[in-house]
Amino acid sequence: MLSGIDPNLVLAQLVRHLDNPLRVTQGRGRGTCGAATMEYLLLRDEPAEVVRLVDGLTGTAQQATTRGGGTLPLPATAISRDDSGRVDLDRLFQSALMNHATSMSALFDYDNTKDHGDFWSAIQGNSLVPVSGFVSVYDALTGEPHRAESTGSIDAGGVMTLLSLATEHGERPAVLTAFGGPQALHWLALEKLDPAPTAEGKRWVYLRNPWGEDDGTGDPTRWPLPDGGGRIGIERDVFAGILRGAVLKRPV
């Protein structure tokens, strides 16, 4: 409140996100696709936990305790509004996640004002989430163990097989892709893989882009799904070609 954010507005934003998680966006010019994907997946799978975490982050202590037993503080730089186009809730929650998820989080606190989604932001701990960072934070948030699978350790076909099995069991994995270019790494939520080819002999993959909207222009070749909100379809072979890693539940 002292910084000009109306608590009633944040509450209204939270209710709207609970009603439709597709409203989550990472914001323009921010390397928060990993954090926004975590936020989206939690809203899909653990909505009550999101409410509990947001209650702590926006309370007087400005921190929450994760299911894994760790502390999730709200970075001071998250409070002031920015030009990313995100609602307050997305900016606050994603900044808290980024504070633990970047490759340099052990050395530097995350500064939302210095996140430009580029290499220099990343090496200062202010942008981009590696697979290891995603797994670490998602384990803490959910209280469940997850594992990272990379196309650097097994081929894309092997990762695709694991993703197919996961989605068949109702899992909604996070996937890291080369989206828009070989070095343009981008997190998305995997919603579904078609188990069988269509009459045209093609198999489709359905994803949710944390941009919050995706008209299908540019690389990779894809198309927007009718319900919008960043949901896209892509041919299985094209997806396998851009796949770089995935986060899956660890078998018990």
d(CA 57, CA 47): 15
Please report whether residue 67 resides in a domain: yes
Whether 133 and 153 share a structural domain: no
Could you tell me if residue 176 is inside a domain?
yes
Average pLDDT over all residues of the chain: 94
What pLDDT, on the 0 to 100 scale, is given for residue 196?
A: 79
Check whether residue 98 and residue 196 sit in a common domain. Answer: no
Asked if residues 204 and 234 have their Cβ atoms less than 8 Å apart, the reply is yes
On whether residue 2 sits in a domain, the answer given is no
Query: Cα 180 to the chain's mean position, in Å?
Result: 17
Number of structural domains (the chain) is 2
Render pLDDT for 163-215 as a digit per residue (tens, 0 to 9).
999 999 999 999 999 998 888 999 999 999 988 777 777 889 999 999 999 99
Pair (72, 197) in one structural domain: no
Last residue of a domain, one of 142, 166, 193: 142
Question: What is the pLDDT, as a whole number, of residue 153?
Answer: 79
Measure the CA dihedral 211/215/219/225, to 10°. 90
Q: Which of 108, 142, 176 is the last residue of a domain?
A: 142
How much is the average pLDDT of 112-126? Answer: 94
State which residues form the domain around 172. 146-249
| DSSP secondary structure, 160-179, as one string | HHHHHHHHHTT---EEEEE-
Which 8-state DSSP code applies to residue 185? E
In a domain, 1, yes or no: no
Q: Is the pLDDT of residue 1 over 70?
A: no
Say if residues 128 and 122 touch (Cβ distance below 8 Å): yes
d(CA 215, CA 67): 36
- Cα distances from 89 to residues 107, 126, 165, in angstroms, run 26, 19, 33
Same domain as 216, residue 116: no
Provide the CATH number for the domain around residue 236: 3.90.70.10
Q: What's this model's pTM, rounded to 2 decimal places? A: 0.95
- Does position 107 have pLDDT exceeding 70, yes or no? yes
Whether residues 156 and 187 share a domain: the answer is yes
- Segment 41-99, tens digit of pLDDT: 999 999 999 999 999 999 999 999 999 999 999 999 999 999 999 999 999 999 999 99
Strands 223-224 and 174-178: unpaired
Question: What is the rounded CA–CA span in Å between residue 95 and residue 63?
Answer: 12
How far from chain centre, in Å, is Cα 37?
2
